[in-house]
């Protein structure tokens, strides 16, 4: 007597390799147990089987796994079930592969794309509004405050506020002006959406990778993870690769054409690197990338929180 | 006695080139009269002067314009006024140079940029939502309906509507789902804004260049004008250039590397060109560009409406 479990169910074979007893799995069984398949554990339904058929004696599990599975495979009556259950489990596996860090990658991606859209439309707004009040463009150099003032205030109000006596702009009909104001409002909506995504990103980062967030900051940390592709991929990278994430082009130019090798990728955005002298930026990047590499590993393997200590170590070194 | 007018005012010089009488212009005078400066007409203030100083006899206007202006320029007492008035008139000229067709160029530009932003963010939305319900992406291939369904309906509703039994997507927390739904709403806002700009563009086109709009359609017409830069620039172009607007890159490649010469630029978007056989597309583009060239000239010089006739002529030829 042999006991054999696979994706369809648990089977008891006799010496002649004929099925004596079986318990077939339902899809809900699979849903609950497919992780155990992964880990090659026996399914709990086996216990059920044992209880159900107490009379079965001399039961040996896994005497010749290969033989049993071969025997099983030639029994075409189970083909359809085998195919369907396999497909189902594969889908469950895909479901499970969507981890929290992928949400971070998507969110930082959307932040970047919102930023691009804002820049694109803000440039258009500035060019367009220069027909109304060209003088304002130089005063409000920040895209957000520019869009905000245009959306809310009339040209007359702006002229008064900025003490402009004469403008080179043309007088606009109400309708022509409304078209510009609407564009400004749309840009403000995009700014709102970007802010909302950044807030959400911060929460995600603090929950999923508290150590990375503490050491690199949530925005830089998320950008690094997005370039790496996932937290898992980042864990497998040496610190020197993390240091250069975002400087791929410069690195390839270095390798192909022998230009100077880059010292830092987007890690340079980190306030710590921003603060140190130019000549120390390379060193500081390397030290920070080291700590980030450690932080990422702690996060991935759910270790205890050490982010503050790691951060302090780099900060103390480059004070 | 000589009478001399310039941007500051009207002056009466005696034989010794000394100022006998003067009327200085105020800024409001300038505002009303600067077009006459443009056309080298005398200012009406001259008449005022004549009335004011009836006693002045033997008055000759413009005996030696060059000499008078030279004499005037060495009198440094008027320097400041000369500079200020000139600046003022220049500003008025700039004001006047903003014509309706520039609004069209800005509007079509904003439509293009909104389209770019929509594409950018829609791609992100599709990638992100594929973690929730990857199966929907293939069904809703249109960006608008995709964003609309995501923004409004829950994943459960979508699964029911599209008869999906199992999904490879993960279950999302309410907050994680909200982040995606908000992105979808933002995309819908951009679609709204784009529609609004297209409506506004259509009105502008019909008002400013009714003939071009009738022949080329408002969207293609506006795109052509945007590439040309302005209605004025388009008027000065030969029909063959209009035919190739938007195919600059292919044309330069033809000129430099001897690749095949392009037969049409964005004119190919026109429904007429879309309809004809492939081998006739070149001919039809040329014929259409001819009529567009005529339409643009009528619009620029405010001629009577002939757009419908021009359009019919090409349509009859390529039926």
DSSP annotation of B270 reads S
pLDDT recorded at residue A211 = 95
Tens-digit pLDDT profile for residues B51-110: 666 666 566 655 677 777 777 777 777 888 888 888 887 777 777 667 788 899 999 999
| H or E element in which residue A159 lies | helix A155-161
Taking contacts as CB-CB distances below 8 angstroms, the residues of chain B near A169 are 95, 98
Mean pLDDT of chain A: 85
If you average pLDDT over residues B282-287, what whole number do you get? 92
Ramachandran bin of A229, using left for φ above 0, alpha for ψ from -120 to 50, beta for the remaining angles: left
Taking CB atoms and an 8 Å cutoff, what residues of chain A touch B91? 166-168
User: pLDDT confidence of B195, banded at 50, 70, 90?
Assistant: very high
How many angstroms separate the CA atoms of A201 and A72, rounded?
49
Q: Are B113 and A128 in contact (CB < 8 Å)?
A: no
Nearest to B169 among A95, A168, A182 (CB): A95
Which of A95, A127, A186 is opposite residue B190, by nearest beta carbon?
A186
Distance between CA atoms of B92 and B29, rounded to whole angstroms?
12
Count of Cβ atoms closer than 10 Å to residue B100 Cβ:
14
Residue B67: C-alpha distances to residues A71, B63, B123, B270 (Å):
116, 9, 70, 59
Which of B113, B116, B170 lies nearest to residue A95, judging by beta carbons?
A: B170
Mutate to test the interface with A, among B122, B131, B203 (most CBs of A within 10 A): B131
pLDDT exceeds cutoff 90 at B245 = yes
Average pLDDT over residues B6-17: 78
Q: Examine the pLDDT at A74 and tell me if it is beyond 80.
A: no
Residue A140: left (phi > 0), alpha (psi -120 to 50), or beta? Answer: beta
Q: Which segment of A9-18, A268-277, B32-41, B190-199 scores lowest on mean pLDDT?
A: B32-41
Share of chain A above pLDDT 90, in %: 47
Q: Look at residue B228 in the predicted model and tell me its pLDDT.
A: 94
Give the Cα-Cα-Cα angle A28, A34, A39 (nearest 5 degrees).
Answer: 160
Interatomic CA distance for residues B73 and A119, integer angstroms: 48
The confidence score (pLDDT) of residue A192 equals 96
Size of interface A-B (CB pairs under 8 A): 104
For B140, the 3-state DSSP assignment is coil
Q: What's the rounded mean pLDDT across residues B152-180?
A: 89
- Residues in B touching A203 (Cβ below 8 Å): 175
Q: Write down the mean pLDDT value for chain B.
A: 86
Structure tokens at B96: 């006047």
What is the structure's pLDDT at B213?
95
ipTM of the complex: 0.76
Kind plus residue range of the DSSP H or E element containing B12: strand B9-13
- Convert A17-82 into a string of H (helix), E (strand) and C (coil): CCEEEEEECCHHHHHHHHHHHHCCCCCCHHHHHHHHCCCCCCCEECCCHHHHHHHHHHCHHHHHHH
Q: What is the pTM of this model?
A: 0.77
Q: Delineate the domains of chain B, giving CATH numbers in brackets.
A: 2-97 (3.30.420), 100-201 (1.10.287.4070), 209-317 (1.10.246.90)
Query: Does B166 have pLDDT greater than 80?
Result: no
**Identity of the highest mean pLDDT range in A91-100, A276-285, B41-50, B197-206:** B197-206
- pLDDT, residue B49, reads 64
Q: Residue A49's pLDDT band (boundaries 50, 70, 90)?
A: low
CB B248 within 8 A of CB B225: no
Give the tokens for residue A284: 């500081």
């Amino acid at each position: 007597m042999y006991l054999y479990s696979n994706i369809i169910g648990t089977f008891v074979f006799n010496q002649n390799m004929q099925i004596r007893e079986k318990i077939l799995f339902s899809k809900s069984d699979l849903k609950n147990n497919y992780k155990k398949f992964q880990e090659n554990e026996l399914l709990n339904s086996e216990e059920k089987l044992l209880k159900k058929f107490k009379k079965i004696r001399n039961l040996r599990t896994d005497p010749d796994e290969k033989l049993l599975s071969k025997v099983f495979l030639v029994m075409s009556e189970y083909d359809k079930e085998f195919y369907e259950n396999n497909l189902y489990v594969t889908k469950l596996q895909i479901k499970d592969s969507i981890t929290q860090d992928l949400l971070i990658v998507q969110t930082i991606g959307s932040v970047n794309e919102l930023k691009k859209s804002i820049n694109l439309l803000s440039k258009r707004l500035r060019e367009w509004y220069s027909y109304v009040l060209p003088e304002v463009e130089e005063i409000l150099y920040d895209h957000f405050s520019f869009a905000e003032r245009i959306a809310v205030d009339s040209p007359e109000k702006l002229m008064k506020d900025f003490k402009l006596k004469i403008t080179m702009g043309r007088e606009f009909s109400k309708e022509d002006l409304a078209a510009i104001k609407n564009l400004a409002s749309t840009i403000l909506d995009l700014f709102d959406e970007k802010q909302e995504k950044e807030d959400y990103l911060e929460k995600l980062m603090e929950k999923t990778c508290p150590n990375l967030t503490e050491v690199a900051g949530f925005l830089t940390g998320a950008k690094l993870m997005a370039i790496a592709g996932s937290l898992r991929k980042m864990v497998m990278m040496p610190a020197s690769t993390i240091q250069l994430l975002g400087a791929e082009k410069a690195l390839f130019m270095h390798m192909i054409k022998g230009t100077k090798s880059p010292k830092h990728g987007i890690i340079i955005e980190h306030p710590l690197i921003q603060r140190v002298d130019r000549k120390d930026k390379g060193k500081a990047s390397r030290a920070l990338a080291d700590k980030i590499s450690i932080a990422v590993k702690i996060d991935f393997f759910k270790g205890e929180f050490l982010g503050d200590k790691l951060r302090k170590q780099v900060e103390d070194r480059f004070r």
